[in-house]
Amino acid sequence: MEVQTAPIKKGAKMKIMSPAFKENDTIPKKYTGEDANLSPPLHIEDIPDRAKSLALVVEDPDAPSGTFHHWVLFNMNPRTTDIHEGSVPVISTQGRTDFGDTEYGGPKPPSGEHHYFFNVYALDTVLSLPRGIRAEELEKEMQGHIIDQASLMGRFAKH
């Protein structure tokens, strides 16, 4: 399942945004693999009270080989409202990106403009998954546990 294409449920209220770029804007170069490769600051609002954990998956559906995962975080504290630039929430577990790492890997498209989705999920459970799992396994385990979700899309083109 391609999570970024999952429809936002009717009545979804949660929001994700970044002070570094707005929806459909260009992601600043310092948050990409062409520069400092820092994770951008993110802000999450209206997290459901009944959420037991949050997950974040950053993906590029425009990659030549199919959806490419740039960051996989799960079991974040459901009270996490801010993820600071270049940091990981203290209470969280990182999965494996398609770069093969367990850390943020910024946009570095081979050619043309790509779209990057920062998808946050409020879950009704804490997942029993190990560090370093792939996004596909996380997405499978989240099924039936997503109580709300939100997405922020930024763009970046090779320079």
In single-letter form, the type of residue at position 60 comes to D
Q: Where are the domains of the chain?
A: 12-157
128 to 13, 46, 51, 108, 141: CA distances (angstroms): 26, 25, 16, 31, 9
Q: pTM of the full predicted structure? A: 0.92
pLDDT tens figures, 70-128? 999 999 999 999 999 999 999 999 999 999 999 999 999 999 999 999 999 999 999 99
pLDDT tens figures, 117-150? 999 999 999 999 999 999 999 999 999 999 999 9
Topology given in CATH for the domain delimited by 12-157: Phosphatidylethanolamine-binding Protein (3.90.280)
